Structure 1
Amino acid sequence: MPSSRGCEQGWYYYPTSKTKDYHKGVGAEQANHNGTSRTAKSTFTSEVSGTVGIAYNGELNVKGSVAVIEISGKFGVTISASLTAKIGNSISVDTPAHKTTYGRYGVYRLKSYGYSRYTYVDCGQGAKHNVTIYTPHRVGWAIWED
Structure 2
Amino acid sequence: MTRKLLVVSATAIAVAGGMNSAASAESADLVPIEEGVLQPGPPPVDDETGFLPAPTEEAELPPVSKPKDGPDAEYCQPRNVYKPTANLGKSHWGIGATQANWNDTPRTARSWFKAEVGGEVSLTYSGELKASASVLVAELETKFGVDLSVKLTAKLGNEIQVDTPARKTTYGKYGVWRMKNSGTSYTIYSNCHTSAKSTVTSFTPWYVGWYLWER
**Class of the TM-score when normalised by the shorter of the 2 chains:** over 0.9
Q: Give the aligned residue type for 1:134.
A: F
Q: Matched residues in 2 for 1:129 and 1:34: separation? A: 50
1:96 aligned partner:
165
Does 1 or 2 have the higher relative contact order (CA < 8 Å, sep 6+)? 1
Give the TM-score normalised by the residue count of structure 2.
0.64
2:184 aligned partner:
115
TM-superposition CA deviations, 1:89-144 (whole Å, max 9, x none) = 11111011111111011110011110101111111011110011111111111111
TM-superposition CA deviations, 1:3-48 (whole Å, max 9, x none) = 65x2222321111111221111111111111122111111100001
2:108 aligned partner:
39
2:78 aligned partner:
9
SS in 2 for 1:88: coil
SS in 2 for 1:139: strand
Q: Matched residues in 2 for 1:111 and 1:36: separation? A: 40
Q: Matched residues in 1 for 2:112 and 2:97: separation? A: 15
SS in 1 for 2:143: helix
2:40 aligned partner:
none
Give the TM-score normalised by the residue count of structure 1.
0.93
Gaps of 5+ in 1: none
2:136 aligned partner:
67
Aligned length: 145
SS in 1 for 2:201: strand
Q: Give the aligned residue type for 1:84.
A: T
1:30 aligned partner:
99
Q: Matched residues in 2 for 1:50 and 1:58: separation? A: 26
Correspondent of 1:83 among 152, 156, 174: 152
1:57 aligned partner:
126
Q: Matched residues in 1 for 2:130 and 2:167: separation? A: 51
Distance 1:117 1:98, change over 3 A: same
Gaps of 5+ in 2: 1-70
1:20 aligned partner:
89
Q: Matched residues in 1 for 2:182 and 2:202: separation? A: 6
Greater percentage in strand: 1
User: In the TM superposition, what is the alpha-carbon distance from 1:60 to its structure 2 partner?
Assistant: 1.7
RMSD: 1.4
Q: Percent identity at matched positions?
A: 50
Q: Matched residues in 2 for 1:96 and 1:2: separation? A: 74
Q: Give the aligned residue type for 1:18.
A: N
Between structure 1 and structure 2, the one with the greater Rg is 2
Q: Displaced runs of 4+ in structure 1, greater than 4 A?
A: 1-4
